[in-house]
Structure 1
């Protein structure tokens, strides 16, 4: 091989390594847990303020879109509450039940529980089902009855083992195509969540209903459909962490109203959630 060809191969190899490094950095960032996890609270948290634990999936963890938990303290009088982020990317209600002990151990005064997006996404096609069964170690095929069963058990454990006031949040919209199956399932599952909150005598926060109403008023059809490709999540994260674009700019580039990628929330959607949570905490 000539010296020139070796140089070309070296440059190409360097470029490949560079982009692999950027990809690895992106994956590291969107998997990174927040600082205020339940574990960190138990060891280092301020125990002199009322504790709010926000429980959920990636829309709570906040590394794949706007972090509403991070914003809540800024909207309240200084040092009024201590906030813990108990969100884990990709979690279903079953996974929350599996890690319920770490939430109970914090002995929160308030719990914000928003879970169910992945319970829906796991049912949308066979590939999604297989991904979730493998990655999240699901014992059965996901379905709405199993979701409600797990969520009921989560609530009953929290009611029994803590003194917390509990708010159950309906599921953020999935896709912005109002006629699509993912969107309609977010409505159906949210109706089940509302009925569960009534049965258990806990507060219900109607996020799904507010988002649906907003899209009906402000969004043109056909809206952006849900896409099951993992690139749909990776590309916005790459733009945010590597190219330093805001989540809202990324959302606007795709012509989306409430989401970054049809699943994760932009700031407008997060503001809706924040106001619901604030009304619960200040009631």
Structure 2
């Protein structure tokens, strides 16, 4: 796509752009929920009888409930805050700056909460510094890579295809890293999670393995046609650290199909105008399992039994400990689940985030050399 046609595409894209959203649970819903949680004790206070109101136990309960509500509100705000280096912020700064330098590159990381980095380790922010270090080791000190975080909590492949693709194209990226499908896999694993995802994101069909692969394939096709970027597709991280669990059997099946996409696109590329070798598959899943096995060997642990079915209550507690009290994801993982790379068996702790960062930088270095 030449520069004039790209500008024309971006103008048409802006006219149909859909701003980022949080499903049906937007800012005002979250604010209202926070007020209800934090200030409901006031209503209880006025509803109580005079005798009970003077009871010291009642007063203590009232204060503790109010404090807990405020803590929950602070944690909810911290976990849902958009990335500071999101696509919209980047495009605004890029437009102000004008023409990019010759040695300037743009990487967009596209995904869900594991990429967003609020309720999971923020590996995206580590890519830039680590890549710069690796480039210096190769005497490529003039190359500058801007890293854009296009991750969003809770989204499925449907939302990526129909909304987030436009955000990515607006950044005019040189490299795109895609790690999406975890929420689809959750919906495949449990029907109640499927219904929740369909309601929250107004999905037109229930997520299945076929739907996931189709949406992911169409997303890559769209990005190949509307950008000149090299694209990496990541295999999905594990669902808990028990490789024999039913949830991980679903992940293994999905990842087997993701791995074939690189060859599928190579076959299509030979018969189209697309350049050869622009699509790669990065096996993040295998890299994470290697680290799990390494840590188990060094600590004499045979298997972690913590299941992804229990992730939600653990996620709430871990989110409060991280956002309100500043504890690292590694620390809360050790305290509550004992996992190696997955905090509550779904999201990444710093150990897991470091693995993803390393895989992304290895791919970038291979493309740049």
TM score, norm. by length of structure 1:
0.94
Matched, 1:265 2:348: yes
What displacement does 1:224 show? 2.0
Change (3 A) 1:29 1:199: same
Separation in 2 of the partners of 1:175 and 1:3?
A: 47
- Equivalent of 1:207, from 284, 291, 297? 284
Corresponding position: 1:74 with 2:123: no
| Structure-2 residue corresponding to 1:39 | 88
Provide the C-alpha distance between the structure 1 equivalents of 2:52 and 2:205, rounded to a whole number of angstroms: 58
- Counterpart contact for 2:242–2:304, Cα < 8 Å: yes
Q: Distance in 1 between matches of 2:330 and 2:67?
A: 27
Alignment partner, residue 113 of structure 1: 178
8 Å CA contact retained: 1:26, 1:238? yes
Q: Given that residues 178 and 223 in structure 1 are in contact (C-alpha distance below 8 angstroms), is that contact kept between their aligned partners in structure 2?
A: no
Distance 1:29 1:276, change over 3 A: same
Give 1:235's match in structure 2, choosing from 308, 317, 323: 317
Distance 1:229 1:250 in 2: 13
Aligned ranges for residues 103-182 of structure 1 at < 5 Å?
103-182=168-247
Counterpart for residue 117 of structure 2: 62
Residues 87/142 of structure 1: CA separation in 2 closer, same or farther (3 Å cut): same
Deviating beyond 4 angstroms after TM superposition, the runs of 4 or more aligned structure 1 residues are none
Higher helix content, 1 or 2: 2
Change (3 A) 1:35 1:214: closer
RMSD of aligned Cα (Å):
1.9
Equivalent residue, structure 2, for 1:224: 306
**What is the distance in 1 between the residues matched to 2:122 and 2:303?**
28
Matching of residue 88 in structure 1 with residue 165 in structure 2: no
Contact 2:108 2:148 in 1 (8 A): yes
Question: How far did 1:244 drift?
Answer: 1.7
Q: For the residues of structure 2 that align with 1:272 and 1:281, how far apart are their CA atoms? A: 14
SS in structure 2 of the partner of residue 51 of structure 1: strand
Aligned counterpart for 1:98 among listed residues 162, 169, 173: 162
Assess if the C-alpha contact under 8 Å between 1:186 and 1:208 holds in 2. no
Residue 21, structure 1, aligned to residue 70, structure 2: yes
Partner of 2:252: 187
Distance in 2 (alpha carbons) for counterparts of 1:3 and 1:228: 38
Distance 1:185 1:126 in 2: 14
In the comparison of the two structures, how many residue pairs are matched?
283
Other structure's SS at 1:281 match: helix
TM-superposed CA distance for 1:200, in Å, is 1.4
- 2:127 and 2:196 map into 1 onto residues whose CA distance is 33
Tell me, yes or no, if the aligned pair for 2:53 and 2:59 is still in contact at 8 Å.
no
For 2:156 and 2:52, how far apart are their aligned partners in 1? 55
Unmatched segments (≥5 aa) in structure 2:
1-49, 133-140, 267-278, 297-301
SS of match in other structure, 1:150: helix
Q: Does 1:50 align with 2:115?
A: no
CA contact (8 A) 2:181 2:236 kept: yes
CA contact (8 A) 1:58 1:90 kept: yes
* Equivalent pair of 2:52/2:58 in contact (CA under 8 Å): no
Shift of 1:10: 4.2
- Structure 1: runs of 5 or more not aligned: none
How high is the TM-score relative to the length of structure 2?
0.73
Q: Does 1:245 align with 2:309?
A: no
